[in-house]
Structure formats: C-alpha cells, structure tokens
Amino acid sequence: MQKSLLDFISSNLLQSPIKSHTPLSGGDISKVYLLETSTQKLLLKTHQGILGKQMLSAEKIGLEHIANTKSIKTPQVYLLDEYQDTSLLVMEYIETKNPNSKDHEKFGFQLAELHKNNTTEFGFDTDNFIGSLHQSNAKHDNWTSFYVKERLLPQLNIAKGKSLLSERDIPNTDKLLKTCDELFPKIKPALLHGDLWGGNYLIATNGTAYLIDPAVYYGHSEVDLAMSRLFGGFSSDFYN
C-alpha cells in the first residue's frame, strides 16, 4: 500500500500515525487491511475504478441504517473518502471469535428484531450493490411487483446477456407476476441485510453479533433466511 495513502488517512482521521498495515482475507471485491496505531485498530477497505466510491458509499449507508435501528450492531464508520484513484472506507475493527450456540441464538433474536423495522413500501431510498452487481431498489407498494421487477427480471436478463439462459427460458413478466402473487402472502416490508451469507456477519470476542457488507432494502424477511442457507446455512440455534 502507498505510504502517501496511509499519510492521507492519518491526516484526515487519526491523532497518531499508522504503525502497521496488514492485508486481510475476505475482500473479494475490495482490498481489506487492518491498520494499527499506538492506540487503536481500524479496518480499511479500498476500491479502485469508477464504481469504487458508489459501492463504498452504499455500504456506509447500509451499515448506518442498520445501526440506527438499535436492533443489531454494525462496525462504526469513521471515514469515506477518495485519494487519487482510490476510494476508501475506514471503520471500526472487530476482534472476533468462533461463536458458540448461545452466540448464534442471540444473533437469531437480533435479526428478528431487525426485521421488525417496517415501512409502507418495498425497496429503499437509494440503490446499492449485491457483490459487484448493481441492485435496483426502486419502490413498489407490493412485494410481488418489487421481487419480479427489481430482483428476478434483472438477474434473468443478466443470465440471458451472458448466454446462460435463452429467451425461451425466461417467463414473461405477466406470468412471473401471477405465479409469485399466488405464492406470497400479504406481508409488511421488513428491513433486510440483503446479502446475509456466512461471510457477512461477525461474532465479537464478547459474543456481540455484527452485520457487515449489507445490501439493505425493505423486503420479505425470509429473503435473509434464504440467503443465509446459500453456502450450507448457519447454526440450528440461529434458526430456532
């Protein structure tokens, strides 16, 4: 990492110079580092390219929106900025441990509390990203319409554009709307993490659960549960 970038962070945020920076795993899209000063540890995410600041800005908005509910913690964000061609996000570094059954149980209750944050429309005030893919959060007054037009059809069209699906593989919009409308009960829009696979939560050394890397919007609460099973699922204590 450029020393000038570290100096930029120190001058804009810190009271003491950065003594060390260590690359961390888990940054599939962004580069992630542990920064250490004489008094604190911080997490730095950097991203180069035209979408860098948009992606990190969306992450900041999502983290702060979840934190404001007081239902479950997220790392505190300290700085969102740009240095030359690099976008950067500096936040609280969380010391973690391997969770036990009680930690998973508490995490499950806290996620349920997050989902009790409701509003009148499905979607969100801003768009964001799921991984590196743009995610439209245009608002709809019912879940079927939102899910079909802002989630299913964009993914199907991406697959078609990559020749993974043909035109005949994709149901028309009316058919999708009718089928989904028959499947979905009437629900309230719940605040979602939006990308809740096993790599997007942490259990701190004191047992506190933290959500990271959100793709927030108001939707069907079972979306988070479905996403949580993507790579094998969470502990049964969480689901119970």
What would you report as the CA-atom Rg of the chain, rounded to the nearest whole angstrom? 19
Q: Which of 103, 195, 213, 224 is catalytic?
A: 195
Q: Which residues contact 226 (CB under 8 A, 6 or more apart)?
A: none
- Which tokens sit at 94? 């969380």
Yes or no: say if 181 and 161 are a contact pair by the CB < 8 Å rule: no
Place of tokens 């944050």: 117
Yes or no: say if 111 and 224 are a contact pair by the CB < 8 Å rule: yes
The amino acid present at 53, given as its one-letter code, is: K
Backbone φ/ψ region at 70: left (φ over 0), alpha (ψ -120 to 50), beta? left
Q: Which residues contact 207 (CB under 8 A, 6 or more apart)?
A: 97, 99, 102, 103, 106
> Is 85 part of the annotated catalytic residue set?
no
What secondary structure letter does DSSP report for 200?
A: G
Nearest in space to 187 (alpha carbons), one of 150, 159, 234, 146: 146
> How far is C-alpha 165 from the geometric centre of its chain's CA atoms?
27
User: Can you tell me the distance from the alpha carbon of 123 to that of 190, in angstroms, rounded to the nearest whole number?
Assistant: 10
Residue 52 parent element (H or E): helix 52-68
Residues annotated as catalytic are 195
